[in-house]
Amino acid sequence: MSKKLNPESLMMSYGYKPELSEGAIKCPIFQTSTFVFKTAEEGKAFFEVAYGKREKGVNEELGLIYSRLNNPDLEILENRLCLWDEAEDCAVFESGMSAISTVLLEFLKPGDTILYALPLYGGTDHFIHHFLPSIGVKVHGFKAGMSKNEILAKLEKEQVDLRSLKMIYLETPANPTNDLIDISLLREFANDIKQEEDILIAVDNTYMGPLWQHPLKHGADFVIYSATKYIGGHSDVIAGAVLCSRELMSRVKTLRTFLGNMAGPWTGWLLMRSLETLKVRMEQQQSNAVKVSEHLAKHPKIKSISYLGLLEEKDPSYPIFKKQCKGTGAMISFNVKGGEKEAFKVLNALKLIKLAVSLGSTESLAQHPKTMTHAGVEEASMEEMGIFDSLIRLSVGVENYEDIIWDLDQALEQI
């Protein structure tokens, strides 16, 4: 085939050979813990590669050994996930948090410093604040919108030894506020101060799925997903993924093998099934979100709204959006007029939209960040991050947009 096919055209078949599975059109679930070697010599050869005793030959594939190391449902899924981000390699995990914590544990050692953007997903925030310091990693935050000089000044004020800076970790757009962070600006920042080794940049890209933002193209070293969200997309599976260069991946996969936090074959199979409709789902969610946000922006019971599709050209984030994002996403945050009482009234009155955390799923979900997803954030930094009592976060699903708008309108009438 000479034409380079688009990822959505390859999600049904890429990396799978029906002739190896009785001609089955779909990849079966390889519900097996271990794999039979043809000969002892073959088993020996597989282990030599798996344990890094020798380099893989040019046309040699890593043979199947044991499902903690590799399994067809995981390998084919990983190959397919690489296509969206044009990554060299991918590793799938049993949750987004295990993907995140494995990367942080592998690349940060006692004495190292991590610089992270605020706000972060609550679980990541907790791991950075409560676990990393316990193994001697120093943690320093910066806020979206800071310039290179402002970040440097902050680190100098906090007396950070720049030689110890090993990783920059961020989410953009930030959850729940949709604040944008310029990935290529941080790449420049990292290159300006790097000494011998590169400072690694990790981007949690869950909010923009694999469709609307490709951080590796802007200088990131790792893209991390909670595959529970858009990739899984049906609120029925917990999973995570990391994408990076082959070189970095050999370290990620080695630690995964020994932590044993790879996804199982059933999770891999579910995610492959989800990937077939990834693009149609996400595009429908986005076009619904555009309609819903335009309606809410004019609503008399709403004080303010944040959605990437409503960014105005004069907004300081607009150039970042133009450079970095390929879509406006399906995540809307809005402040109702009033406080927690009014926000709760709206949430309790929803009929079609479900009151639940999580995002990126086929059904629309609404929640109250201050008392739910972000309940662990320090009270003092809540308002600074834009997390108010009146804030509701909405993940728009694939329902008919008129029905979503109807539901929001009838719920907002409760105020």
Ligand X SMILES: *Cc1c(COP(=O)(O)O)cnc(C)c1O
Q: Report phi then psi at 401, rounded to 5.
A: -65, -30
Nearer to ligand X by C-beta: 83 or 92?
A: 92
Asked whether 223 and 88 are in contact (CB, 8 A), the reply is no
Q: Is the dihedral of CA 100, 90, 93, 136 positive or negative?
A: negative
Q: Provide φ and ψ at 194, rounded to 5°.
A: -65, 145
- Binders of ligand X among residues 282 to 301 (CB under 6 A) are none
Q: CB nearer to ligand X: give 46 or 226.
A: 226
Minimum distance from residue 147 beta carbon to ligand X (Å): 25
**Does the footprint of ligand X cover residue 240 (CB under 6 A)?**
yes
Question: Is 123 a residue that touches ligand X (CB under 6 A)?
Answer: yes
Check binding of 393 to ligand X (CB under 6 A).
Answer: no
Exposure class string for 382-398: b at 16+ Cβ within 10 A, else e:
beebbbbbbbbbbbbbb
Chain mean position to CA 11: 19
Part of the chain binding ligand X (CB under 6 A), chosen from 38-46, 65-73, 201-209, 248-256 = 201-209
Report in angstroms the alpha-carbon separations of 274 from 194, 277, 293: 40, 6, 26
Query: Across the strands, what pairs with 204?
Result: 171, 224
Rounded least distance, CB 53 to ligand X, Å:
34
Of 210 and 301, the one with the shorter C-beta distance to ligand X is: 210
How far is the C-alpha of 97 from the C-alpha of 403, rounded, in Å?
34
Q: Which of residues 203-232 bind ligand X (CB under 6 A)?
A: 204, 206-207, 226, 228-229
Taking CB positions, which residue lies at the least distance from ligand X?
96
* Span from 119-127, 150-158, 256-264, 339-347 in contact with ligand X (CB under 6 A): 119-127
What is the rounded CA–CA span in Å between residue 285 and residue 305? 18
Span 173-192, contacts to ligand X by CB under 6 A:
175
Least separation in angstroms between residue 81's CB and ligand X is: 15
Q: How far is the CB of 124 from ligand X (least distance, A)?
A: 6
Three-state SS sequence of 150-182: HHHHHHHHCCCCHHHEEEEEEECCCCCCCCCCC
Residues in binding contact with ligand X, number by CB under 6 A: 16
Please give the torsion angle defined by the CA atoms of residues 57, 60, 65 and 71, in that order, rounded to the nearest 10 degrees: 130
Any contact of residue 171 with ligand X (CB under 6 A)?
A: yes
Token duo for residue 52: 């890094």
Binding mask 87-106 vs ligand X (x if CB under 6 A, - otherwise)?
--------xxx---------
Interface with ligand X, residue 367, by CB under 6 A: no
> 301 or 374: whose CB is closer to ligand X?
374
Enumerate binding residues for ligand X (CB under 6 A): 95-97, 121, 123-124, 171, 175, 204, 206-207, 226, 228-229, 238, 240
